Structure 1
C-alpha cells in the first residue's frame, strides 16, 4: 500500500477514528485503525465493538492495499506535522511496518494484520430517512445534559430517540433523564421515519455524533433498527449498537397542572444563579428561589462557607413561593434556552417544575426541587 494525502485531511479522518477507540483494552487490534486504500479514496475504520466509525476521504493512491496501525499514535504524529504537509503512508508486503513520511520526518509504526480487524455486521434497518444536521444537532444537544451517568440504571445512559404522537401530529422526539431532571425535544418528523422503532442512543455515541453534525446544514442519512442506529454523511458513517433496555414512561413525570408562571430573561438568570452558587458547598449546591410580585430573589446559605443573595426583576403575579434547586441543574437547563426568555411553571415547593423557551413547547425541561 502506498498513499499520499494532505495533512489536514488526514488529521480530520484520523481524529474521528482515534476518539472511538478505547484507550485501555485487552484486545490489541481494537487500539488500531484499519486503513483501506483503493482507487482514489482511503477509508479509515475504527471500532470499540459497540461503535464503528468509517471516514472516507480522497487521496492519491499509488498502490492499493490495507493495514491496521495504532490510531492514537498515528493521530499524534499527524497532529504534530506542519500545516500543508503532504503525508505519505507506505507499507511493504510482509514488512509489518507502516512508514509515515512528511518532508524530512520519517516514522515506522508496527502494524497488525487487517484480517484480525473486527468489522461490525451490517443490519437490516426498519427505517431509513434523511434529516438536516442542524435538526439532529438541536435534538441531541438540548437533551444530552440530562443523560444519567448511573451505570446501574443503564437504560437511562443515553438519549431515547423515537416517534411521538402529539396534538400537532407525529414528531421525531429525543428524551433524556437521570431522575432529577428531564429534557424532551421535538422536531418535525422526516419522511420515512414513521416506521422507526424507539431506540436508546448511548452517551458515547451521542458524543461522537456531535462531530458529524458540526458545520453546515448538510443532510444526514439516518437508519434505525431494533439493535443498531447509523448516521452517515458522504464522507463519514457512524454505526452504533443501541442500549438493550426499555426507556421508562417519561410522560408520567411531566407536570400538566403547574399554574404559577415565572418569566425571566434567560442569560441574566443563568449568570445570577452562577454568581450566588459560588459560595455554596460543592456537595449540595442548593439555591433557593423566592418569588413574589415580579421579584425573584436567589439565595444561598452555606454555614461552612458563607451566604449570598441576588434580586432580579421578573414577570410573576402569583402567590409567594419559596423553592430550592440544585444550582448545577438550574444552570444546565437555563443554558439550553436559545430565545430571550425562559418560562418556569411551578405548582408547589415540593413538586416538579416545568421550564420552556418562551411559548415554544417543542423543547421542555423538568427539574425536581430540593429541600432548602
Structure 2
C-alpha cells in the first residue's frame, strides 16, 4: 500500500478536479505484476493503468489501491468492472470513496464474490487527497485563510497602506500555496482597495499556465477595469454576503474543493464567525505599527474565555535576515460547518 500511496502522490499530478490514486497488482507469490496511477482528468484510472501493465498476469492477482474503485461511468468506465473483467481475485482498499457519484465499487466487488478489505493506511490515503476528500464529505470546499500581519496584529498602517507587510520570500511562498488550491477568494472591498491579480505567478512575476478560479464575493459591482477581470484566469462574481452559500455554490456549480481565502479583515471575520475556516496560514513580519487596520474584523468575542483558539501545526521561517517572516500553520479547534450538521 505504501508503494500505491507513493504512486498516487507522483510529482506533476494535478490536485483537482479528480482524486490522485495509485494501484499495485500483486501475484500470489507477492511479486508486482503491474502498477499505475491516475495522471489527471480524462486519463486512464490507476486500476486500468495497472491492469494494462499486467496483461494476463492480472488474473488471480491482488489489487492494492489507495481509493475505492469507482463504480460509475464518466470520461472512463467503472474500475470495479475493469477489475472483475481482468479476473482479479482480491482487492485491498485504503480509503472508501466519499463521492456519492462514484462510490459503491466495494459492494460491487463483494457481490461478485471477490475478497475485499478496506481501511489499510486510510488516514495516509485521505491526506493525499485532503481537500477533495473534505469537500465531498462536507458538501463544501476546504477553506485556507491566508493573511500577513505585523507583530502587533496589523494588516495595514493607519493611512491604509499595506504593501508590503510580508517579505519577498513570504510572497514567493504564498504563490506556492496558491498553486495547491483550485480557488482564490476575496471580497469586493479588497478588489476595490488593492486591485489584486489573484493569479499564481513564478519568480519572474509571470502567471503560470494553470490558474485557480478567481472568485469575488459581495453584492457590489466590480469595476470592469480591475485586474481580477483580466484574461489571465477565469473569474466568478458571487453576489452574496453569506459564506456558506458561496462555498455551496463553488462546490455544486463549479466543482471546487479548496478555497484560498485572501480577503480583508471583514471577509475573514465573516468566515471565522460562520465556522468556515479549516486552516490558517499566517505570515508574521518583524514589524511594529502601533496603529492601523487589524488583521481580522469583529468576531463578536467580548471576553477572553470566548476567544477562538487555534492549534499550531507547523512553524517555518521563510527567508533570511531582513527578508525573514515566520509562517504559522494553524487549525481552528471548532468543528467545521458541514452538510451533515
Of Structure 1 and Structure 2, which has the larger fraction of its residues in helix? 2
1 or 2 for the larger relative contact order (CA 8 Å, sep ≥6)?
Answer: 2
TM-score (norm 1): 0.23
Greater C-alpha Rg: 1
* Structure with the larger strand share: 1
TM-score by length of 2: 0.25
